[in-house]
Structure formats: structure tokens, C-alpha cells
Amino acid sequence: MLVVVTYDVSVTDPGGTRRLSRVAKVCERYGKRVQNSVFECIVDSVGLKQMQSALKEIVNLKMDSLRFYNLGKNYRTKVVHWGAKDVQNVQDPWII
């Protein structure tokens, strides 16, 4: 299933910059960055729970926020992209 993960991490408090970096690293393990704080992740229900658990350990829920949009298995008809950035198929192999 495709899950879109968005986050807003407060960097004005001590440790905020480190939390921001750690959140991005966890998201990179599960998906591809499509905007600064937005990732598209192809995961199963177990992978989603693992990602959510890892992220919950990092963020300060009193200052930061996470959103998970589950677009399901038939996501191709639900995503429309306009604009400058190239559209990446999240199922394509990763080149590092």
C-alpha cells in the first residue's frame, strides 16, 4: 500500500534539528522523499506499524506533528502531480 508521510518538527527548541534529521532518516528507510517533509512509502501493514513506532520514539508529540495518509493498493488513480519536480515511481529501484 502507498502511505504518504508528512511531518513538521519544531527546530526552535533544543534537540529539534537532531529530531528533524532522525525523522527524515527513518522515512528514507521506508520510502522516497517527494517534498522537503513529505515521503511516499510502499509498505505493508507490518512495515507501517514499524515505521510509526520508530517515528513515535523520535518526535516530541507536544511540539512536532506527523501525518500518515494511507492511499491503499490502488493509489495510482489517487495521486495527481503538477509542477517542477520529476515524478518518481516509488516502486522503482533505488539508486544510491
Higher pLDDT, 45 or 13: 45
Residues 50-95: tens digit of each pLDDT: 999 999 999 999 999 999 999 888 777 777 777 876 656 655 565 5
Higher pLDDT, 27 or 72: 27
pTM comes to: 0.81
Residue-level pLDDT at 92: 59
Average pLDDT of the chain, as a whole number: 88
Cα–Cα distances (Å) from 59 to 2, 10, 13, 46, 89, in that order, read 22, 9, 12, 20, 28
Domains of the chain: 2-73 (3.30.70.240)
* 2, 50, 59, 17 alpha-carbon torsion, rounded to 10°: -80
Residue-level pLDDT at 4: 95
